[in-house]
A and B are shown apart, each in its own frame.
Chain A
Amino acid sequence: MRLSRRAMIKDGMVVVSAGMVMPAIFSRGIASAKALAADNTHAALAASDRTLIVVQMAGGNDGLNTVVPYTDPTYRKMRPTIGVAENKLLSLDNRLGFHPNLAPLKTLWDQGHLAVVEGVGYPNQSLSHFQAMDIWQTLDLSGNGREGWLGKVVSGWVDNDGHPFKVMDIGSQTAQALQSISKPVPTLTNVQSYRLVADPSDRADKGNARVQALMKLYNTYPKSSPYAALLDTIALDAQEGTNQLSMANDAYHPAVTYPSGPFGAGLKVLAEVIVQGLGLRIGYVTLGGFDTHSNQVQTHNTLMTTLAEGLSAFYKDLVQHGKADNVVIMTWSEFGRRVEENGSLGTDHGTAAPMFILGNAVNKGIYGEPPALNNLDHSGNLKYTVDFRSVYATVLDRWVGASSKDVLGSTFDVQNFLPAI
Chain B
Amino acid sequence: MSMNEQPTEPWHGDQLAPGYAPSQPQSVPSPATQTSARRAGGLSRRKLFIGLAGAGAIAAVGGGVALEQWVQHGESKPTFQGPLAGNAQIGHLLRRAGFSATPQEISSYAALGYNGAVDRLINYQSVSDDAMEQRLKSLNLDLTKLQNQQLWWLLRMAWTQRPLLEKMTLFWSGHFTSNFHNVGKTRERMITQNQFLREHAFDTFDNLLLGITADPAMLVYLNLTQSKKNAPNENYARELMELFTLGLGNYMQQDVYEAAAALTGWHVIGQTTTSQYLENTHNNLTKTYLGHTGNLDYKDVLTILVNHPATPWFICRKLFTFFAYENPSDDDVKPLVDTYVKSHHNMGEVMRTLLFSPQFTSEKAYRSRIKSPTEFTVGAYRALNIQSDGVGLPAAATLMGQGLFDPPNVAGWPGDKTSSLWLNSGTWMARLNFIEQLLVRGNGSSKPYQPLDLQGIVNQNHIDSPEHFVDYFVSFLLDGKLDQDREANLVDYFTTTDSATHKAQQITLTNGKSYPINRVRGTLYLLMALPEYQLN
**Are A174 and B424 CB-contacts (below 8 A) given A342-B231, A344-B223?**
yes
B530 near A217: Cβ-Cβ < 8 Å: yes
Distance of A170 Cα from B261 Cα, bound (Å): 40
Closest to A210 in B: B522
B425's partner among A126, A143, A186 (CB-CB below 8 A) is A186
A184 near B424: Cβ-Cβ < 8 Å: yes
Chain B: minimal CB distance from A31 (Å): 31
B429's partner among A173, A193, A209, A344 (CB-CB below 8 A) is A193
Q: Does A234 contact B (CB under 8 A)?
A: yes
Q: Does A39 contact B (CB under 8 A)?
A: no
Distance of A194 Cα from B427 Cα, bound (Å): 9
Residues of A within 8 A of B500 (CB): 204-205
B 415-458 contacts with A by CB, 8 A: 415, 420-430, 432-433, 436-437, 439-440
Residues of B within 8 A of A184 (CB): 423-425
Q: Which of B50-58, B188-196, B234-242, B376-384 contacts A (4 or more CB under 8 A)?
A: B234-242
B370's partner among A130, A196, A227, A228 (CB-CB below 8 A) is A227
B248 near A214: Cβ-Cβ < 8 Å: no
B426's partner among A127, A194, A226, A230 (CB-CB below 8 A) is A194
Residues of B within 8 A of A188 (CB): 425-426
Closest to B232 in A: A343
Q: Does B504 contact A (CB under 8 A)?
A: yes
Q: Does B275 contact A (CB under 8 A)?
A: no
Chain A: minimal CB distance from B496 (Å): 8
**Are A226 and B368 CB-contacts (below 8 A) given A196-B432, A344-B228, A349-B238?**
yes
**Are A227 and B429 CB-contacts (below 8 A) given A130-B242, A197-B436, A199-B518?**
no
Distance of A218 Cα from B526 Cα, bound (Å): 10
Distance of A167 Cα from B113 Cα, bound (Å): 50
Q: How large is the interface on A (under 10, 10 to 19, 20 to 34, 35 or more residues)?
A: 35 or more
Q: Does A129 contact B (CB under 8 A)?
A: yes
A172 near B498: Cβ-Cβ < 8 Å: no
Q: Does B144 contact A (CB under 8 A)?
A: no
Q: Does B410 contact A (CB under 8 A)?
A: yes
**Are A344 and B227 CB-contacts (below 8 A) given A173-B424, A186-B424?**
yes
A 181-219 contacts with B by CB, 8 A: 184-189, 193-202, 204-205, 209-210, 213-214, 216-218
B521 near A234: Cβ-Cβ < 8 Å: no
B531 near A201: Cβ-Cβ < 8 Å: no
Q: Does B475 contact A (CB under 8 A)?
A: no
B525 near A210: Cβ-Cβ < 8 Å: yes
Chain B: minimal CB distance from A346 (Å): 7
Distance of A368 Cα from B532 Cα, bound (Å): 52
A 201-251 contacts with B by CB, 8 A: 201-202, 204-205, 209-210, 213-214, 216-218, 220-222, 225-228, 230-232, 234-235, 237-238, 241-242
B248 near A143: Cβ-Cβ < 8 Å: yes
A228's partner among B428, B517, B531 (CB-CB below 8 A) is B531
A201 near B517: Cβ-Cβ < 8 Å: yes
Residues of A within 8 A of B534 (CB): 227, 231
Residues of A within 8 A of B493 (CB): 209-210, 213
Q: How large is the interface on B (under 10, 10 to 19, 20 to 34, 35 or more residues)?
A: 35 or more
Residues of A within 8 A of B411 (CB): 129-130
Q: Does A264 contact B (CB under 8 A)?
A: no
A238's partner among B256, B398, B415, B428 (CB-CB below 8 A) is B428
B426 near A218: Cβ-Cβ < 8 Å: no
Closest to B411 in A: A130
A 367-415 contacts with B by CB, 8 A: 378-379
Distance of A349 Cα from B257 Cα, bound (Å): 12
B433's partner among A186, A197, A200, A226 (CB-CB below 8 A) is A197
Closest to A241 in B: B425
B531's partner among A143, A193, A198, A221 (CB-CB below 8 A) is A221
Chain A: minimal CB distance from B464 (Å): 23
Distance of A103 Cα from B72 Cα, bound (Å): 67
B234 near A234: Cβ-Cβ < 8 Å: no
Q: Does B399 contact A (CB under 8 A)?
A: yes
Closest to B234 in A: A348
B 480-528 contacts with A by CB, 8 A: 483, 485-486, 489, 492-493, 496, 498, 500-501, 504-505, 516-518, 521-522, 525-526
A126 near B248: Cβ-Cβ < 8 Å: yes
Q: Does B83 contact A (CB under 8 A)?
A: no
Distance of A36 Cα from B24 Cα, bound (Å): 63
Closest to B395 in A: A193
A196's partner among B256, B401, B421, B433 (CB-CB below 8 A) is B433
**Are A202 and B522 CB-contacts (below 8 A) given A172-B426, A217-B529?**
yes
Closest to B241 in A: A128
B535 near A227: Cβ-Cβ < 8 Å: yes
A220 near B522: Cβ-Cβ < 8 Å: no
Distance of A48 Cα from B522 Cα, bound (Å): 42
Closest to B402 in A: A172
Closest to B424 in A: A187
Distance of A197 Cα from B437 Cα, bound (Å): 9
Chain B: minimal CB distance from A231 (Å): 4
Q: Does A91 contact B (CB under 8 A)?
A: no
A 294-350 contacts with B by CB, 8 A: 294-295, 342-344, 346, 348-349
Chain A: minimal CB distance from B139 (Å): 26
**Are A217 and B420 CB-contacts (below 8 A) given A172-B401, A194-B426, A293-B223?**
no
Residues of B within 8 A of A196 (CB): 429, 432-433, 436
A216 near B421: Cβ-Cβ < 8 Å: no
Chain A: minimal CB distance from B238 (Å): 7
A343 near B253: Cβ-Cβ < 8 Å: no
Q: Does B230 contact A (CB under 8 A)?
A: yes
Residues of A within 8 A of B404 (CB): none
Residues of A within 8 A of B425 (CB): 184, 186-188, 194, 234, 237-238, 241
Q: Does A148 contact B (CB under 8 A)?
A: no
Q: Does A288 contact B (CB under 8 A)?
A: yes
Contact with B along A63-75 (1 / 0, CB 8 A): 0000000000000
Q: Does B226 contact A (CB under 8 A)?
A: yes
Contact with B along A18-36 (1 / 0, CB 8 A): 0000000000000000000
Q: Does A361 contact B (CB under 8 A)?
A: no
Q: Does A13 contact B (CB under 8 A)?
A: no
Closest to A198 in B: B436
Residues of B within 8 A of A416 (CB): none
B429 near A225: Cβ-Cβ < 8 Å: no
A349 near B234: Cβ-Cβ < 8 Å: yes
Q: Does A131 contact B (CB under 8 A)?
A: yes
Q: Does A59 contact B (CB under 8 A)?
A: yes
Residues of B within 8 A of A222 (CB): 483
**Are A131 and B248 CB-contacts (below 8 A) given A241-B425, A346-B223?**
yes
Distance of A218 Cα from B532 Cα, bound (Å): 10
B535 near A204: Cβ-Cβ < 8 Å: no
Residues of A within 8 A of B423 (CB): 184, 227, 230-231, 234
Residues of B within 8 A of A343 (CB): 226-228, 230-233
Distance of A282 Cα from B230 Cα, bound (Å): 47
Chain A: minimal CB distance from B61 (Å): 28
Distance of A226 Cα from B325 Cα, bound (Å): 12
* Chain A contact residues, CB within 8 Å of chain B: 58-59, 126-131, 143, 169, 172-174, 184-189, 193-202, 204-205, 209-210, 213-214, 216-218, 220-222, 225-228, 230-232, 234-235, 237-238, 241-242, 288, 291, 293-295, 342-344, 346, 348-349, 378-379
| Between-chain CB contacts (< 8 Å), 24 pairs | A126-B248, A129-B411, A131-B248, A143-B248, A173-B427, A184-B423, A193-B429, A194-B429, A197-B437, A201-B501, A209-B498, A213-B492, A214-B432, A214-B526, A217-B486, A217-B530, A218-B531, A231-B531, A293-B222, A342-B234, A343-B228, A346-B233, A348-B235, A379-B253
Known pairs A217-B489, A343-B232, A344-B231 / 17 extra A-B pairs, C-beta < 8 Å: A129-B410, A173-B408, A174-B424, A188-B426, A201-B501, A201-B504, A202-B518, A214-B432, A217-B530, A222-B483, A231-B423, A232-B531, A238-B429, A294-B233, A294-B235, A342-B233, A344-B223
Report the 9 A-B pairs with minimum CB-CB distance, sorted nearest first: A343-B231, A204-B500, A172-B401, A188-B426, A201-B518, A187-B424, A344-B226, A343-B228, A238-B425
